[in-house]
């Protein structure tokens, strides 16, 4: 479900980047989450609203942290939703949650992989004014 607290966290982080003129064409918006929605109540889920930044930025502020995201193997699903009305983004988030559910409940048990002990990732790949919303949902995996 669409979460206004997460939206506020993205807005706060984006404002921090904008105040430091850190946005450019390579900036990617991403979500990093540490808890499963089926297990952890929404008010207790840990989530980082994040953006890629240049490597020379190594320190944040009191309420904005800097972190490196560990690489590795990930299974992913790409979600593409036409941006036709004001509810399109919420629809894209619902589709992303369905993609995560499918990867966990259907794909993973039948694959040759198991979950790795790293956070899941969401990459928001389209600008706000694009005709289409593109999101990629990643779960960390390792061979059985």
pLDDT value at position 80?
Answer: 94
pLDDT value at position 1?
Answer: 44
Q: Where in the chain are the domains?
A: 4-143
Structure tokens at 27: 């900036």
C-alpha–C-alpha distance, residues 10 and 134, integer Å: 17
Asked if residues 93 and 2 have their Cβ atoms less than 8 Å apart, the reply is yes
The CA-CA-CA angle for residues 115, 119, 124, to 5°, reads 115
Average pLDDT by stretches of 10, the chain with 144 residues: 75 92 90 82 84 90 89 95 87 92 95 95 87 94 96
The hierarchical CATH code for the domain 4-143 is 3.20.80.10
Beta carbons within 10 angstroms of residue 56's beta carbon = 5
pLDDT value at position 2?
Answer: 53
Task: Say what the alpha-carbon torsion angle 3, 6, 8, 11 is, to the nearest 10 degrees.
Answer: -130
Distances (CA, A) of 103 to 79, 88, 114: 13, 22, 11
Asked if residues 134 and 128 have their Cβ atoms less than 8 Å apart, the reply is no
What is the model's pTM?
0.86
pLDDT value at position 111?
Answer: 97
pLDDT value at position 42?
Answer: 74
């Amino acid at each position: 479900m669409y979460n206004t607290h997460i939206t506020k966290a993205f807005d706060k982080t984006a404002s921090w980047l904008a105040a430091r003129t850190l946005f450019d064409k390579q900036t990617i918006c991403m979500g990093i989450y540490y808890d499963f929605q089926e297990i952890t109540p929404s008010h207790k889920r840990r989530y980082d609203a994040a953006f890629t930044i240049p490597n020379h930025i190594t320190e944040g502020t009191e309420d904005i942290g800097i972190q490196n995201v560990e690489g590795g193997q990930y299974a992913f699903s790409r979600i593409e939703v036409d941006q036709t009305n004001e509810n399109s983004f919420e629809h894209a988030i619902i589709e992303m949650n369905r993609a995560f559910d499918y990867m966990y409940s259907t794909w993973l048990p039948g694959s040759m992989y198991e979950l790795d002990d790293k956070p899941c990732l969401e990459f928001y790949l389209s600008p706000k004014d694009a005709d289409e919303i593109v999101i990629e949902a990643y779960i960390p995996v390792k061979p059985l």
